[in-house]
Amino acid sequence: MQAKLEPLDIQLLVNNAGNAGADPSKVGRGEFWEQAPEQWTPWLGVNLLGFLNASRLVLPKMIGNKRGSIVTIISDAGRVGEPRLEVYSAAKAGAAGFSRALAKSAGRHSVRVNCVAISATRTPATSRAMDNPDFAKRALSNYVIRRFGEPSDIANMVLFLSSDAASWVTGQTYPVNGGYDFGM
């Protein structure tokens, strides 16, 4: 029996997850065709189902208040695909599709839903690799702006999308990626 959770009374939800859960041994790595389907679950659970669950908890109050903003952090992997990260790419693309559909459903209640697609961003988990000069040179060769993203780069876009300055913006995906990819 599943516990019934009460809707949360908040005006902003930022869905931000980008890993595959707490147990790395259960995560699909390597070639997709060599992975067992149960290895896909951590990617899908964190990066897609987590977004669905969090959004479901805040929407009743947002709709009742006729106000709210949901911003989902996806990845360029969900926009353009990444080899050896096929399931992660699929989960992020699914989160983007979910967000566009939700924007159409919730928009008539003055609830906005948008995505921010990020690329290589410096975090405690990525700093070690990014500080390696060989890795940095190789990775940054794919970027027009030759630096890694900082959390503040993403936060600024989230702040805009969460504010009244974006009161007529919904159903969109904004890449914050230093020019990694210009595709739609």
CA–CA distance, 170 with 110 (Å, rounded to integer): 10
One of 88, 143, 174, 180 is an active-site residue; which one? 88
Asked about 88 being catalytic, the answer comes back as yes
Q: Kindly list the distances between the CA atom of residue 92 and the CA atoms of 131, 167, 174, in Å, as whole numbers in the listed order.
A: 26, 25, 14
Report CA torsion sign: 147, 152, 155, 156: negative
The model's pLDDT over 57-86, given as tens digits with 9 standing for 90+, comes to 999 999 999 999 999 999 999 999 988 889
- Concatenate the DSSP letters of all residues of 106-129 into one string: HGGGTEEEEEEEE-SB--TTTHHH
Sorted by sequence, the CB contacts under 8 Å of residue 150 that are 6+ apart come out as 121, 122
For the chain, where are the E strands, in sequence order? 12-15, 68-75, 111-118, 173-176
CATH number for domain 12-18+28-176, candidates 3.40.640.10, 3.40.50.720, 2.40.30.10, 1.25.10.10: 3.40.50.720
Of 119, 108, 79, nearest in space to 96 by CA:
79
Q: Tokens in use for 126?
A: 């990525």
CA–CA distance, 170 with 161 (Å, rounded to integer): 9
Residue 184 has a pLDDT of: 57
Sorted by sequence, the CB contacts under 8 Å of residue 93 that are 6+ apart come out as 74, 78, 79
Q: Are 73 and 116 in contact (CB under 8 A)?
A: yes
Collect the ranges in the chain with pLDDT lower than 50.
Answer: none
Residue 107 has a pLDDT of: 98
Residues linked to residue 74 through DSSP beta bridges, in sequence order: 117
Strand duo 173-176 + 68-75: pairing: unpaired
CA–CA distance, 104 with 130 (Å, rounded to integer): 38
